[in-house]
Amino acid sequence: MLKAEIISVAASGDIVAVRHAVRRQAVKINLSLVDQTKIVTAASELARNMLIYGGGGEVTLELLQDGVRHGLRVHFVDTGPGIPDIELALRDGFTTGKGMGLGLGGAKRLVNQFNIESAPGKGTRVTIVRWR
């Protein structure tokens, strides 16, 4: 693992910063254009959710190497109200806001690894990884 890049998300403009940082790191490890688009889209959705539902937080990007494989891991951490039912939140069509309810489930489908930890009053931590 190389040096981590940390981005604070407190306003909508920070979501753009997350998108640019994820794209930059994805290019660095030579992800295909399709895989770049997948991880940038997932990261954008997760950063947006973190801002809207979690009140903002912190995004950490890490480059990974596992033998000849290279990857990009992105952590999203907030101290918001948490998610009472993760399984329900991952279900397509479920939303607590005005969206289409494709955010968490859609983000999960766009990456190779997806982990979410959350509990009411404890905030939420989502980790995604895309491998080349």
pLDDT digits (tens, 9 = 90+) for 47-59: 999 999 999 999 9
pTM over 0.85: yes
User: 55 lies in which domain range?
Assistant: 5-131
> Taking the C-alpha atoms of 25, 71, 80 and 96 in order, what is their torsion angle to the nearest 10 degrees?
100
* Segment among 14-23, 43-52, 63-72, 97-106 with least mean pLDDT: 97-106
Which of the two residues, 104 and 75, has the higher pLDDT score? Answer: 75
Sign, Cα dihedral of 36, 37, 40, 45: negative
Average pLDDT for 34-41: 96
Cross-sheet strand order for the sheet of 57-66? 5-9, 57-66, 69-78, 123-131, 113-119
**63 DSSP β-pair partners:** 72
Count of structural domains, the chain:
1
The answer to whether residues 78 and 124 touch, using CB atoms and an 8 Å cutoff, is: yes
Residues in the chain: 132
For position 91, which CATH number holds?
3.30.565.10
The per-residue pLDDT for 94 is 61
Q: Are the C-beta atoms of 62 and 76 separated by less than 8 Å?
A: no
Mean pLDDT across the chain:
91
